[in-house]
C-alpha cells in the first residue's frame, strides 16, 4: 500500500518513506505500523489505549512507549506540527488534507519464456544459497553480522527510577549496576537467576568487576570527597572486606572505571573541583602510585568516560569540549600517545570494546547500537530499539546489557516561596524547558519539543502559539525578554539570536561568536551582557547591538547575574570557587558573598535580595548571603534549572520525572 501526502510517499509494504527532495529512508516495522494506523484513521483522534491494544498486542509496554514512538515519527516527518498532532489527555491524530492511498501493482501472469528465465534465476539463487550454507558449515564468514530482534531482548530489572552502567561478574551470575532513585545514585548487586539483590551505601557509582574473582570496584562520595574502593561479594550476596584505594577528587561522578587484565592498574576519571575538567588517572593497587594520563584543556568538561581494550593496552576516552561536542580518542597507556577517532554532535554515556580490540560499540542519538571499525572508520548498525538506550556493556558470547526505557520529561512549575505552594506552569507529554517572562506570569516564552524538535513557544493569557519551526534539532537556551520592547533574546546553537515581530533571526555581526548566558542590560535597551568564548576562555562581555561593538568586562567567567537597582554584578569564575559581587563601574572591587558555591551556568541560580536560590544534584537550595545560612527546599522530583518570574514572591523551575530506565540483555 502507498500513502501519498504533501511531498511524502509511504511504501508500507517495503517499509520505505520517500521524500521528493531528500530521497528514501528505511523505517522500522513498528514505526510503519503506527504510521499506517494513523493514516488509515486520518483526522481521527487515536487514544493511548487504542494504540497499545492494536499495535503492541499482548506486550506489556508503558504509555511512554507510545509517546516515544510518536515523537520519532514526528522527527522523521521534519517535525511538521500540522501532520502529527497531540491532543492532551486524549491521544494523537494524523492530519493530511491531500492523502491518497493506492495499492501496489500486481504483476501480470508470466509467459512461458518468462517462466523459463525465472526458473534459471531460481536455480542460480538456489546454487548460491547452497554454497552459502556450505561455507557457513565450514566456518567461512561472509561479513554479515547477526541482527538482534526486539523479541530477543530480555528485561532483567523492572524497578522504578533509572538503572545504569550494568556489568557482570566473571561467572555471569551476578550483575552490578547503578540505580538512581530519590536523587541518589546507589550501586546494586543482583543475582540474575533469583533476582535477589543487595545495595551498597548511597552516593556510590561506577561498578567494575575484577576479571578473576567476585571483587567489585566502585566510586563512593562521602563528605564532599570521592574515593575509589572495592568490596568482596560471595554467591549468597554477603558483602565483606570493603577497602579504600585512592581519592578520585571532590565530585560525585558516574565516570566508568577499568582494571588492567593482570589486575594491578586501575584507571579512572579524576576531577578536583567543579571548575576544572575531568582528567584520566591510573593507580597501582599494590604501591598506590598514581599517574596522570591526560591533561584536558581548561574550561572544558574534560575526559568523562573511559573503556579499556581487552589486551589492556589502549583506553577509549570520551571527552566533551566547550562546543558541547563529544570527542572519541584512543590512548596507548604505555606510550602515552593518542589519536582522535571521531567527533559526535550528541552525548554518549560510554563505549564498549569488541573482543577483537579493533572495534567499539556505542549508542547514538537514534536509539541505535552501532559498531565502529577503528581501522576503516566505518560504522555499522547492530541493534535499533523502540525505546531510548543509554549506557552499554558488552561481553563476548554474552551480548549486550543496556539501560533501556524512556528519558526524563520536564515540566515548568511555579513555586510560591512563602507557603511553598507549587503549580505546574507548562506540562505535557513533551519536555518543557527554559523560561522568560514578558509582562506577567501568564505571558512568557518557553521551549518545548512537543512537535518533535525543540521550538520556542509563547504563552499569552488567552493563547498559546509556536514561535519557531525548525526541521532539525536546535540547542535553544538563555531566553531573556526586554520588557520595554518585547524583544526576545536567545541562544540557538550557541549563536546570539533575536525575536523581533514574528521572526527569530541570528544577529549577523555576532554569527562567528559562541555565546552563553545572554541578558539584556537594565540601563540601555541596545546593550546585551553575555559570556563568549575567546582564546578558549569564556569571558564576560557587553555587546551594543546598535553600534555593533563588543566591550570586554571580565575574564574567566562561568555565570553571572545583574542587580539592576544597585548596579551590581554577581558572578562565578571558571578557575575559582565562590560567588562574587562587584559594582559594575569598578569590577576590580569584587568581594566574595558565598565562598563554597560554584555555578557553571546562569540557569543554575538566581538572586533575590539577600537570598541566593540554586540547584545542585537535582535539589533546590536557598542560601542567605548575609548570615551564610543554607536551607534545603523540599520539592517532589529533581530540579534542574531555576528562573526569575515577573512575580518576585515566586520562582520558576524545571522539574523532571523519570519514566523508568531498566536493564535489558540483548544476546548476539
pLDDT at 658: 60
Q: What is the pLDDT of residues 506-527, one digit of tens each?
A: 999 999 999 999 999 999 999 9
> Is the confidence at residue 154, as pLDDT, over 50?
yes
Name which residue leads in pLDDT, 483 or 547. 547
**Residues in CB range of 509: below 8 A, 6 or more apart:** 548
pLDDT at 406: 65
pLDDT at 147: 52
Instruction: Please tell me the pTM assigned to this model.
Output: 0.57
pLDDT bracket for residue 623 (50, 70, 90): very high
Q: What is the pLDDT of residues 92-120, one digit of tens each?
A: 788 776 788 876 543 443 333 333 333 33
Q: What is the CATH number of domain 150-351+382-405?
A: 2.130.10.10
Q: What is the pLDDT of residues 414-470, one digit of tens each?
A: 999 888 888 888 877 678 899 999 866 678 999 998 777 889 999 988 888 899 988
- The position carrying cell 537556551 is 477
pLDDT at 612: 94
pLDDT at 112: 37
> Is the confidence at residue 137, as pLDDT, over 50?
no
pLDDT bracket for residue 133 (50, 70, 90): very low
Asked if 70 and 80 count as a contact pair (C-beta separation under 8 A), the reply is no
Q: What is the pLDDT of residues 1-41, one digit of tens each?
A: 788 887 788 888 888 888 876 678 888 888 888 889 888 88
Q: What average pLDDT score do residues 159-179 get?
A: 91
User: Superfamily for 409-657?
Assistant: TolB, C-terminal domain (2.120.10.30)
Which CATH code of 3.40.30.10, 1.10.10.10, 3.20.20.60, 1.10.1060.10 fits the domain covering 2-102? 1.10.10.10
What's the chain's average pLDDT? Answer: 84
pLDDT at 668: 76
Nearest to 477 by CA among 580, 604, 637: 604
pLDDT at 461: 85
**Sign of torsion over alpha carbons 293, 298, 300, 301:** positive
Distance, in Å, from the CA atom of 12 to the CA atom of 28, rounded to the nearest integer, reads 11
> Is the confidence at residue 141, as pLDDT, over 50?
no
Residue 134: CB atoms within 10 A of its CB come to: 10
Distance, in Å, from the CA atom of 563 to the CA atom of 105, rounded to the nearest integer, reads 71
In 80-236, beta strands by DSSP E:
84-87, 91-94, 100-102, 154-155, 162-168, 174-181, 184-191, 197-202, 204-209, 215-222, 225-233
Distance, in Å, from the CA atom of 456 to the CA atom of 433, rounded to the nearest integer, reads 10
Distance, in Å, from the CA atom of 137 to the CA atom of 115, rounded to the nearest integer, reads 33
> Is the confidence at residue 239, as pLDDT, over 80?
yes
Cα of first residue to Cα of last residue in the chain, in angstroms, is: 33
Query: Domain-by-domain residue ranges, the chain?
Result: 2-102, 150-351+382-405, 409-657
- Cell triple for 49: 489505549
592 conformational bin, left if phi > 0, alpha if psi -120 to 50, beta if neither? beta
Distance, in Å, from the CA atom of 64 to the CA atom of 541, rounded to the nearest integer, reads 43
Distance, in Å, from the CA atom of 220 to the CA atom of 201, rounded to the nearest integer, reads 8
Q: What average pLDDT score do residues 347-359 get?
A: 94
Q: What average pLDDT score do residues 304-320 get?
A: 95
> Is the confidence at residue 289, as pLDDT, over 90?
yes
pLDDT at 657: 67
Name which residue leads in pLDDT, 391 or 300. 391
Q: What average pLDDT score do residues 162-189 get?
A: 92
Q: Average the pLDDT over each of 160-174, 261-275, 311-325, 368-382 and give the range with the smallest value.
A: 311-325
Amino acid at each position: 500500500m502507498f500513502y501519498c501526502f504533501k511531498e511524502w510517499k509511504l511504501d508500507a509494504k517495503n517499509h520505505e518513506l520517500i521524500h521528493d527532495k531528500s530521497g528514501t529512508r528505511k523505517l522500522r516495522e513498528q514505526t510503519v505500523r503506527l504510521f499506517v494506523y494513523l493514516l488509515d484513521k486520518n483526522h481521527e483522534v487515536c487514544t493511548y489505549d487504542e494504540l497499545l491494544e492494536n499495535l503492541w498486542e499482548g506486550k506489556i509496554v508503558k504509555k511512554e512507549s507510545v509517546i516515544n514512538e510518536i515523537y520519532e515519527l514526528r522527527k522523521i516527518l521534519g517535525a511538521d506540527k500540522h501532520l502529527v498532532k497531540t491532543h492532551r489527555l486524549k491521544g494523537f491524530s494524523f492530519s493530511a488534507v491531500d492523502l491518497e492511498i493506492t495499492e501496489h501493482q500486481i504483476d501480470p501472469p508470466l509467459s512461458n519464456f518468462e517462466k523459463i528465465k525465472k526458473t534459471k534465476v531460481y536455480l542460480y539463487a538456489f546454487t548460491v544459497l547452497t554454497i552459502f550454507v556450505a561455507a557457513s558449515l565450514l566456518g567461512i564468514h561472509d561479513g554479515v553480522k547477526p541482527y538482534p530482534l526486539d523479541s530477543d531482548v530480555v528485561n532483567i530489572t523492572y524497578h522504578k527510577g533509572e538503572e545504569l552502567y550494568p556489568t557482570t561478574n566473571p561467572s555471569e551470575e551476578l550483575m552490578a549496576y547503578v540505580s538512581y532513585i530519590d536523587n541518589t545514585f546507589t550501586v546494586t548487586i543482583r543475582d540474575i537467576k533469583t533476582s535477589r539483590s543487595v545495595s551498597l551505601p548511597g552516593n556510590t557509582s561506577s561498578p567494575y568487576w575484577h576479571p578473576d574473582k567476585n571483587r567489585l570496584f566502585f566510586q563512593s562520595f562521602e563528605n564532599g570527597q570521592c574515593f575509589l574502593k572495592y568490596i568482596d561479594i560471595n554467591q549468597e550476596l554477603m558483602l565483606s572486606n570493603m577497602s579504600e584505594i585512592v581519592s578520585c577528587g571532590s565530585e560525585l561522578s558516574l565516570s566508568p572505571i577499568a582494571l588492567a587484565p593482570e589486575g594491578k592498574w586501575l584507571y579512572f576519571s579524576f576531577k578536583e573541583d567543579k571548575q576544572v575538567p575531568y582528567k584520566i588517572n591510573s593507580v597501582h593497587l599494590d604501591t598506590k602510585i598514581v599517574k596522570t594520563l591526560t591533561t584536558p584543556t581548561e574550561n572544558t568538561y574534560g575526559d568523562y568516560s573511559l573503556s579499556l581494550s581487552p589486551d589492556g593496552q589502549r583506553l577509549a576516552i570520551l571527552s566533551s569540549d566547550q562546543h558541547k561536542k563529544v570527542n572519541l580518542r584512543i590512548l596507548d597507556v604505555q606510550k602515552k600517545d593518542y589519536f582522535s577517532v571521531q567527533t559526535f554532535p550528541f552525548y554518549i554515556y560510554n563505549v564498549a570494546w569488541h573482543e577483537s580490540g579493533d572495534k567499539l560499540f556505542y549508542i547514538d542519538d537514534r536509539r541505535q547500537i552501532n559498531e565502529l571499525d577503528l581501522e576503516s572508520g566505518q560504522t555499522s548498525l547492530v541493534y535499533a530499539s523502540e525505546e531510548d538506550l543509554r549506557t552499554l556493556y558488552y561481553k563476548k558470547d554474552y551480548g549486550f546489557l543496556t539501560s533501556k526505557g524512556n528519558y526524563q520529561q520536564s515540566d515548568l512549575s511555579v513555586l510560591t516561596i512563602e507557603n511553598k505552594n507549587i503549580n505546574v506552569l507548562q506540562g505535557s507529554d513533551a519536555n518543557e524547558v527554559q523560561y522568560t517572562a514578558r509582562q506577567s506570569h501568564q505571558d512568557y516564552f518557553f521551549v518545548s519539543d512537543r512537535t518533535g524538535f525543540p521550538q520556542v513557544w509563547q504563552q499569552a493569557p488567552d493563547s498559546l502559539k509556536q514561535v519557531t519551526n525548525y526541521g532539525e534539532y536546535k540547542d535553544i537556551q538563555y531566553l531573556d525578554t526586554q520588557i520595554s520592547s518585547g524583544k526576545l533574546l536567545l541562544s540557538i546553537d550557541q549563536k546570539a539570536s533575536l525575536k523581533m515581530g514574528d521572526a527569530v533571526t541570528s544577529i549577523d555581526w555576532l554569527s562567528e561568536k559562541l555565546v552563553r548566558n545572554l541578558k539584556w542590560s537594565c540601563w540601555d535597551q541596545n546593550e546585551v551582557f553575555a559570556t563568549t568564548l575567546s582564546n578558549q576562555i569564556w569571558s564576560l562581555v557587553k555587546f551594543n547591538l546598535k553600534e555593533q561593538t563588543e566591550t570586554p568586562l571580565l575574564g574567566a567567567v562561568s555565570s553571572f547575574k545583574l542587580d539592576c537597582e544597585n548596579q551590581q554584578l554577581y558572578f562565578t569564575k571558571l578557575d575559582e570557587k565562590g560567588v562574587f559581587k562587584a559594582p559594575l563601574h569598578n569590577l576590580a572591587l569584587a568581594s566574595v558573598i558565598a565562598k563554597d558555591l560554584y555555578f557553571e551556568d546562569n540557569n543554575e541560580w538566581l538572586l533575590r535580595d539577600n537570598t541566593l536560590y540554586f540547584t545542585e544534584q537535582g535539589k533546590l537550595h536557598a542560601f542567605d548571603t548575609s548570615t551564610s545560612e543554607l536551607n534545603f527546599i523540599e520539592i517532589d522530583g529533581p530540579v534542574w534549572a531555576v528562573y526569575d518570574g515577573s512575580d518576585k514572591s515566586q520562582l520558576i523551575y524545571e522539574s523532571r520525572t523519570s519514566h523508568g530506565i531498566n536493564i535489558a540483555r540483548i544476546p548476539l
